[in-house]
Amino acid sequence: MKDRLAQPARFRGSSWSSPHRIVRMLRGAPRATYELSRARLALRTLGIADIEQRNALSSDRGRDPDAARPDDAEIAARAGFVIERLASRMPFRSDCLVRALAAQSWLTQRGIATRIVIGAQFSPSREFGPHAWLSYGETIVTGGDVAPYTVLYDG
C-alpha cells in the first residue's frame, strides 16, 4: 500500500518555475484561504465518523479517476499545490488534516472524488508520528511523500 501512495501530485505540461505558476497560485488563493478557514473550524468537532462521511460524500458526488475528465488530475494537482503553499501562511495552524479537509472540500465541489487517508510513522524510539493526506486514485494531492507512513485508516 505504501508504494501505491508514494508519489505526490504534479502538474502536467508546465514547469514549476514558469511565470504561469504564480498566476495559477494567485487565481486559487481566495478559494484556498476560504477552504482552509472552513476546515480549521470544522476540525474543532471532527471525529473519525465525520471523515468517513466526508469520504463517502466525495465518492458519491465526484468522479473517480477511472471516469475522470481529461483535466481532473491537473485540477487536483493545482488545488493541492495552492493549499500546501498557503497553509503555512495562514494566521492559524493548518496541519496535514486541515489541508486534506480543505482540498477535499474544494475538489468535491468540482466533482472530483478524493479520500482522506490517515497514517502513522513509528520511530525506533517508539514515538508516534500521525499524518493525514488526501489521495485522488493513486495520486497524493496533499501530504507530500507518504512512503514512510503506515496506513491506519483508508476510508
pTM: 0.82
Cβ atoms within 10 Å of 23's Cβ, excluding its own: 10
CB 113 within 8 A of CB 61: yes
For 91, the domain range is 3-154
Question: What is the distance between the alpha carbons of residues 14 and 9, in angstroms, rounded to a whole number?
Answer: 13
Q: What is the pLDDT at residue 28?
A: 81
Q: For the chain, what percentages of helix, strand and coil (3-state, to nearest 5) are there? A: 50, 20, 35
- pLDDT tens-digit map of 54-104: 999 999 999 888 888 888 998 999 999 999 999 999 999 899 999 999 999
Res 39 pLDDT > 60: yes
Residue 34 dihedral angles phi and psi, to the nearest 5°: -60, -50
CB 107 within 8 A of CB 68: no
Cell of 121: 510513522
Q: Give the model's confidence band at 125: pLDDT under 50 very low, under 70 low, under 90 confident, else very high.
A: confident
29-41 mean pLDDT:
92
Domain count, the chain: 1
Q: Give the model's confidence band at 9: pLDDT under 50 very low, under 70 low, under 90 confident, else very high.
A: low
CB 102 within 8 A of CB 43: no
Q: What is the pLDDT at residue 65?
A: 84
Q: Give the model's confidence band at 12: pLDDT under 50 very low, under 70 low, under 90 confident, else very high.
A: very low
Least confident window among 17-21, 59-63, 129-133: 17-21
